[in-house]
Amino acid sequence: MMTHPNEDVQRALVQLNDALCTWERSTGRQSVLIVREEGGWSHRSQSGKPMHPSLDDIPDCALLDQIADHHN
Please name which of 71, 15, 70, 26 lies closest in space to residue 48, comparing C-alpha atoms: 15
Kindly report the pTM of this predicted structure.
Answer: 0.83
Average pLDDT on 63-71 reads: 79
Q: Which residue has the higher pLDDT, 69 or 26?
A: 26
CB 54 within 8 A of CB 61: no
Q: What is the pLDDT of residues 3-37, one digit of tens each?
A: 999 999 999 999 999 999 999 999 999 999 999 99
Amino acid present at 24: E
For residue 15, give the H/E element and its range. Answer: helix 7-27
Closest CA to 32 of 16, 48, 19, 21: 48
55 falls in which pLDDT band (50, 70, 90)?
A: confident
Is the CB of residue 31 less than 8 Å from the CB of residue 70?
no
- pLDDT confidence of 70, banded at 50, 70, 90? low
Residues 49, 1 contacting (CB under 8 angstroms): no
